[in-house]
Amino acid sequence: MKRRGWNTLSSGQKRGIGLGGLIQAGLLLFALRDWFRRPDDQIRGRKLFWLPALFVNFLGPIAYLTVGRQR
């Protein structure tokens, strides 16, 4: 498979990549804000375990927000 550069992508593809990046950054910022503000006893498992996990693409923040927090 031939590697494509940014300039060879269509404007729709560039918008899609940009939108994906914005969504990922938004999820990360929301999860980090919650992680910093939430006490240790309201997080499943060790709180420090979740910090590096938050930086794993979309999966980390989604996992923290759905599984890591206690309501």
User: Average pLDDT for residues 2-27, to the nearest whole number?
Assistant: 93
pLDDT of 3 over the 90 cut: no
Question: Which pLDDT score, from 0 to 100, does residue 2 have?
Answer: 79
Q: What percent of the chain has pLDDT over 90?
A: 89
CA dihedral 16, 18, 22, 23 (to 10 degrees): 20
- In the predicted model, what is the mean pLDDT of the chain? 94
What are the C-alpha distances in Å from 48 to residues 3, 17, 40, 52? 38, 30, 9, 8
Please, are residues 42 and 50 in contact by the beta-carbon 8 Å criterion?
no
Question: Which pLDDT score, from 0 to 100, does residue 71 have?
Answer: 73
User: Average pLDDT for residues 35-47, to the nearest whole number?
Assistant: 95
Q: How would residue 21 be classed by pLDDT, with cut points 50, 70 and 90?
A: very high
